[in-house]
Structure 1
Amino acid sequence: MATDDRHRFVCRCEWPGGVWRRTHGEFPALLMLDSDGSSIGEARRAAAQYTAACCPPVDAGDVELIVSELCTNAYRHATGWWRLCVHAHQGRLVLDVDDASTTPPRPRDPDNVHGTGGLGLLLVAQLADEQRLLRYPAGKTVRVVLRF
């Protein structure tokens, strides 16, 4: 996979005979973007491309949806700044979205009448194998894990 000048994107994978496998001794592949240099749409597309290249057993469409929801939540409900870090390692695709708010995300009742939201965290919970909240003095990380 080529390196994009705007994103830190490293992915070393082999595709012998169309079968995906990691190369021996390599470091975990990594994709990093933040709101200072990328839009949520760019983050969504880059995460889907990363998934397709580095762990094709994972549904790239699910990854797009998760990234979109988590980055949008950070934008709307935190400070507006977010950072996405994606890596595949030991049969897990890890999606971390950092923001500068210490307030944890709160699920709310979906607004099916006016369409003002409330479905994002429910969708993420449905698609994820694991979800964690990591708190720091200056913010938090919402971590979603998909196993493959």
Structure 2
Amino acid sequence: MTAPEPPPYKAAEARAAAKAFVATLDPRPAVATIQDLLLLVSELVTNALRHAGAVTALIFGADADTLYVQVADPSSDRPQQRTPDLSGCTGGFGWPLVLRLSEKADIRDHPPGKVILVAIAR
């Protein structure tokens, strides 16, 4: 894992940090993989801001086969699977999207909150 990024205050900052991280990789991941990474980061950070009130850490990592993202927040509450709201008012799409795009999604206690670690194929 790389050194933690300053905690983002909005999803756009998290996407910018992800783009900067990807720019350091050699070889670079495929365009579709980068798009998936940006969507994952956006969803994880948006969920942390919306449901936990803050992001306390954002960390990226990579090995030969996998890209990793860790997002920490101050809430110990786990993400909840809920029926998506098709009217667009209350959401419900983020966590299912994270699970669909990632090869692995792990939630770890990190008192007082939690860390969500996702991995996607490089």
TM-score (ref. length: structure 1)? 0.71
**Structure 1 segments of 4+ aligned residues over 4 angstroms from their partners:** 28-31
**SS state at 1:70 partner:** helix
Structure number with greater Rg is 1
Change (3 A) 1:69 1:82: farther
RMSD of equivalent CA atoms: 2.0
Structure 2: gaps (5+ residues):
none
Is 2:122 the partner of 1:137? no
Mapping for residues 55-74 of structure 1, pairs under 5 Å: 56-58=28-30, 59-74=33-48
**SS state at 1:97 partner:** strand
Change (3 A) 1:46 1:137: closer
Q: Which amino acid aligns with 1:125?
A: L
Q: Which has the higher strand share?
A: 1
Count of residues in correspondence between the two structures: 119
Q: Which amino acid aligns with 1:85?
A: I
Structure having greater relative contact order (Cα 8 Å, sep ≥ 6): 2
- Counterpart position of 2:5: 32
Please tell me whether the aligned partners of residues 75 and 114 of structure 2 are also in contact (alpha carbons under 8 angstroms).
yes
**SS state at 1:142 partner:** strand
- Counterpart position of 2:15: 44
Q: C-alpha separation between the residues in 1 aligned to 2:61 and 2:2?
A: 5
Structure 1: gaps (5+ residues):
1-27
Which residue, out of 119, 124, 127, partners 2:101?
127
